[in-house]
Amino acid sequence: MSTDLAPTLILTAEADFLDLALEELRQAAPDAQTTPLADGVLLVTCQRSFFELAEGWRQHPPIFIRHICPVQAIAPLRSKLNTDLSIMRQQINETILPLIDPELTFSVQSRIFADLPYKPFDLNTPLAELITHTGPTLDVRAPHQILSVVCATVAEPSPFATPHSAFLGFSLALHNLSNWAGGMRRFARETDQVSRAEFKLLEALEIFKIKLPPRGVALDLGASPGGWTRVLRQQDQYVTAIDPGELEPRVANDRGVRHRRMTAEQYLFDEPDQFDLIVNDMRMDARDSARLIVAYAKQLYRHGLVIMTLKLPEQNRRTVIDHALNILQQAYTIAGARQLFHNRSEITVYLRLK
């Protein structure tokens, strides 16, 4: 049942960075009130509409808020699948269906943060069938619009009739900050994958909508064991891999890879080549890494770009981020900065030459 105190949205961030996500929320909506639903997942009530907040963040994406979805209806749950589906269908018929564009593809994304006797799949399939009857085509990988369903236990005291509630909302995918439920972008593990770090680069290329030049030349700083180099080769790039350590043999034996066994600092003074792309996932202080990348700016072609991670300490993270970004702005325009799903104690930054 809807309430007079209906929340505006549900916000998701990495739990360890929730304090910084809350800073971003309150910059956009100073009156925002939050109720926790799960680690890193908040119910948000504020005066601004979901569309106002989402459109602002679409144009200027936050770093730490990973995913948002609107709340347009609230359904009290009885912990029985068929009963709960019936309640949700009623809310969708009354509130959601009028919002759907039958000409656009859609997806249903469910998340469950309560002790309920069913899984997201049990909700997604029947609710998707309800919507397809109105005309739109289901597309779970790249939908244009999304029905978000979040089932959660709301701590007492609350205005909701039952301990478990389903929060329902419909929006354009571009307003959710991610096409994936909760921003949880997962990639299939490949048999010849070198490391899980590959997922970070894949996610960065996707979320920043980066198209690399055909048969481009790339520089991978701190390349060992070769995960990012392998991804770049899959993207049709010839790679110079810089690291005093060894590369995984399958990467090292690739004829499109040139391995220079030296540090990034040594290579900088070794008459390096020019590149279309420089990537850097080295474990070093974020400010030192930023200074290194500024020094490498002269090795980029005019159209060149940089993808790098900034490793963050447990304390004073905002200060470190601001300092590192200020250093980078000496040579680059910051085209994007996000704490991605596959990041850990770091953010990923996308840079273009000034």
pLDDT tens for each residue of 109-153: 999 999 999 999 999 999 999 999 999 999 999 999 999 999 999
Which residue matches tokens 């029985």? 80
**Is the pTM value of this prediction over 0.85?**
yes
Q: What is the pLDDT of residue 1?
A: 37
Are 170 and 211 within one domain? no
pLDDT tens by residue, 221-273 = 999 999 999 999 999 999 999 999 999 999 999 999 999 999 999 999 988 89
Q: What is the pLDDT of residue 310?
A: 98
In a domain, 68, yes or no: yes
Angle formed at CA 139 by CA 130 and CA 337, multiple of 5 degrees: 125
Of 183, 212, 234, the last residue of a domain is 183
- Say if residue 2's pLDDT is above 90: no
CATH of the domain at 119: 3.30.2130.30
DSSP string, 255-294: TTEEEE-S-HHHHHTS----EEEEEE---SBHHHHHHHHH
In a domain, 340, yes or no: yes
Tell me how far apart the alpha carbons of residues 266 and 271 are, in angstroms, rounded to a whole number.
10
3-state secondary structure of 83: helix
Tell me how far apart the alpha carbons of residues 147 and 109 are, in angstroms, rounded to a whole number.
6
Are 97 and 47 within one domain? yes
Are 80 and 178 within one domain? yes
Q: What is the mean pLDDT of residues 69-98?
A: 95
| Structural domains counted in the chain | 2
| Cis preceding linkage at 225, omega within 30 | yes
In a domain, 1, yes or no: no
Are 47 and 121 within one domain? yes
Alpha helices, DSSP H, located in 16-149 = 18-28, 50-59, 81-91, 120-132
Tell me how far apart the alpha carbons of residues 277 and 43 are, in angstroms, rounded to a whole number.
40
Q: What is the dihedral of CA 14, 15, 20, 23, to 10 degrees?
A: 110
Kindly report which listed range (67-71, 187-191, 197-201, 339-343) carries the lowest average pLDDT score.
Answer: 187-191
Are 164 and 252 within one domain? no
Closest CA to 111 of 73, 159, 163, 167: 167
pLDDT-based confidence at residue 72 (cuts at 50, 70, 90): very high
Are 18 and 155 within one domain? yes
Are 88 and 211 within one domain? no
Angle formed at CA 70 by CA 66 and CA 186, multiple of 5 degrees: 35
Are 279 and 175 within one domain? no
Are 260 and 157 within one domain? no
Closest CA to 107 of 121, 119, 93: 121
Q: What mean pLDDT, rounded, does the chain reach?
A: 94
Are 203 and 177 within one domain? no
Q: What is the mean pLDDT of residues 9-21?
A: 98
Kindly report which listed range (64-68, 193-197, 346-350) carries the lowest average pLDDT score.
Answer: 193-197
pLDDT tens by residue, 144-181 = 999 999 999 986 545 554 689 999 999 999 999 999 99
Tokens of 354: 């000034």
Of 148, 183, 218, the last residue of a domain is 183
pLDDT exceeding 90 applies to what percent of the chain? 93
Are 298 and 334 within one domain? yes
Tell me how far apart the alpha carbons of residues 170 and 81 are, in angstroms, rounded to a whole number.
21
For the annotated catalytic residues, the residue numbers are 311
CA 269 to chain CA centroid, nearest Å = 36
Q: What is the dihedral of CA 312, 318, 320, 325, to 10 degrees?
A: 100
Are 327 and 205 within one domain? yes
Number of helices (H) and strands (E) in the chain: give both, helices first: 10, 15
Segments forming the whole domain that contains residue 111: 9-183
pLDDT tens by residue, 265-285 = 999 998 889 999 999 999 999
Closest CA to 75 of 155, 1, 161: 1
